[in-house]
Homo-oligomer: A and B are copies of this chain.
Amino acid sequence: MDNATRSERSRNAALEAAIAIIARDGPGRLTLDAIARESGLSKGGVMHQFRTKEAVLKALLERQMAHFEEFSTRYMAKASETSANPNLAAQLATLREAATSPNSAALALVAAMVENPRLMALPREREMERMAAIREEAADPDLAMLRWAGAMGLLLSSLFGMSPLSKGEHQRLFARLLDDAQWSGLAQPDATRAAKSGTAPAAKAATRRKRA
């Protein structure tokens, strides 16, 4: 077997093992020995591919980010034809996907945070770019962020095993978050936001485009 693919296979096995361990035993049980055991590699083999445990977490994080990045891109490509706010739609759908997916990306997030909170910088920066895109396309940027926050809350609370919601409710709520029509009729009675009303009509027109 080729050297490159051999490495690739090993790295992959180690990361898959890491995800399995986190999902099964919790982030606290993720150790290098456990990864070696679970993956079938020796500890030396694991350490050859990743010089430190932090390197494992980083690779894991990047892998999961790439996975959902692809999902998001793919979704947005389709949504951009019909939706007035494809970025928001894509993010909501991606968060739903993350909440549904068994080898949840977010578990990697938790593990990374426990081990080294600094690793959070990567996903945070990516998230900031996305938020900017969401705000720019939104008729009501704050409402868009609240819809995003709602999806995030559903994801994280279920991830923490502290969601009071059933799976059915979960799905229904995500669907409602995604449905633009349900969020178009909101008042913005506050004085500080009234100044923004000049931009609202154009946005409403954009929203209506979806109906066509």
A86 within 8 A of B: no
* Interchain CB contact under 8 A, B186 and A186: yes
- Give the one of A27, A162, A187 with max B CB within 10 A: A162
In the complex, A208 Cα to B105 Cα: how many Å? Answer: 43
- A135-173 to B contact mask, C-beta < 8 Å, 1/0: 000000011011111111111110011111100010011
Question: Chain B residues with Cβ under 8 A from A151's Cβ?
Answer: 149, 153
What residues of B have a CB within 8 angstroms of the CB of A182 in the complex?
186-190
**Contacts A153-B152, A153-B153, A190-B182; is A131 near B28 (CB within 8 Å)?**
no
Question: In chain A between 5 and 33, which residues have their CB closer than 8 angstroms to a CB of chain B?
Answer: 26-28
Taking a contact as CB atoms under 8 Å apart, the answer to whether A161 and B131 are in contact is no
Q: Which of these, B26, B152, B172, B189, contacts A156 with CB under 8 Å? A: B152
Partner of A160, one of B28, B113, B116: B113
Q: Are B187 and A113 in contact (CB under 8 A)?
A: no
A195 contacts partner chain B, Cβ-Cβ < 8 Å: no
Q: List 13 A-B contacts (CB under 8 A).
A: A28-B115, A110-B110, A110-B113, A117-B161, A145-B165, A146-B176, A147-B150, A149-B151, A149-B153, A151-B153, A152-B156, A185-B186, A186-B186
A183 to B150 CA separation, bound complex (whole angstroms): 14
Find A123's partner among B28, B162, B172 (CB 8 Å cutoff). B162
Query: What is the interface residue range for chain A against chain B?
Result: 35 or more
Q: What's the least CB distance linking A28 to chain B, in Å?
A: 4
Q: Determine how close the nearest CB of chain B comes to the CB of A180; give it in whole angstroms.
A: 11
Q: Which of B116, B162, B169, B187 contacts A185 (CB 8 A)?
A: B187
- In the complex, A142→B155 CA distance in Å? 16
**When each residue 29-56 of chain A gets 1 if its CB lies under 8 Å from chain B and 0 otherwise, what string results?**
0000000000000000000000000000
A60 on interface, CB distance cutoff 8 Å = no
